[in-house]
Amino acid sequence: MKIYPLLVSIFIAATPTIFSDKSKAKNIIFDKSKSIELSVEGDKKIYFYNDHKGAIKDYTESIKFDPKNTYSLFNRAYYKSELKDYKGALRDLNQLLAIDPSNGTAIYNRARANANLKRNISAIKDYSRAISKEIELQYSYFNRGILKELIGDAKGACSDWGKGIEKGNKRAKNVFTENCLPSNFARFELKTKNNLIMKRARERNLAGDRRGACEDYQIAKNNGYVPPKEYKLFYKVITDPYCFLRTI
């Protein structure tokens, strides 16, 4: 479930823009009323035209007149995420949370941005903070479980999915049944461990540590790791012969 920004319910009358005499572009003076007016313009772009880029421009202008306008910061971050600009969204949410550290919805949305950027540990921390504030619990538990699986914490993943089930998340029920029942957990735990080892192998390979990558690959193979179909040819043609030659 997505947390949608709230649209301003009353369109506020226009307020004259205040500029210095020297430069209209570079010397915008703080004007809270103008900032709110531009926030409303951004809301109109979404409400009437579903114009994400246009709304982002209005929220950006709004923030110039009031850098502490958390409403515009939140909305700009949200619509940047909708356009898959997760780095931009993360910057906005960091700025917002520097102003309002207790903003639970911003914390939740930052967790989503971090997850999309594959910053798994940061995302887990933010989901944990969202959970402590009881924000979107069924989704926070489910998503944190997915991230725990990615970092190799199978028990933690199952625990979170179990809590997600308690909060009514149907997807959590599906993954829990598939992976966390007593008859399935040992296989899931080994799969999670092997995926983590293979992730490290790929990172070592990219860093130029071919020997370390081969050692990790061999550990995973000894644990029963079988590459997905789309990777079998790669590992058979490149990784296996290379690792074999290095150990002669």
Per-residue model confidence as pLDDT tens digits over 188-229 = 999 999 989 988 988 888 888 888 888 888 898 888 887 766
Least confident of 7-11, 120-124, 166-170: 7-11
**What is the pTM for the complete model shown?**
0.81
What pLDDT sits at residue 55?
Answer: 98
Task: Supply the mean pLDDT for the chain.
Answer: 86
CA distances, 237 to each of 162, 171, 186, 241 (Å)? 41, 37, 31, 7
* Neighbouring-strand partners of residue 19: 28
b/e per residue 197-226 (b: at least 16 CB within 10 A): bbebbeebbeeeeeeebbbbbbbbbeeebe
Q: What 3-state DSSP class applies to 228?
A: coil
What pLDDT sits at residue 231?
Answer: 58
Q: What 3-state DSSP class applies to 70?
A: helix
The Cα–Cα gap between 222 and 219 comes to 5
- Whether 65 contacts 28, CB under 8 Å: yes
Helix (H) or strand (E) holding 55: helix 52-65
- Give me 171's structure tokens: 């997807």
Domains belonging to the chain, first-starting first, are 1-135 (1.25.40.10), 188-248 (no CATH)
- Give me 141's structure tokens: 């538990």
What pLDDT sits at residue 202?
Answer: 84
What pLDDT sits at residue 105?
Answer: 97
Q: Of 241 and 158, which is predicted with more confidence?
A: 158
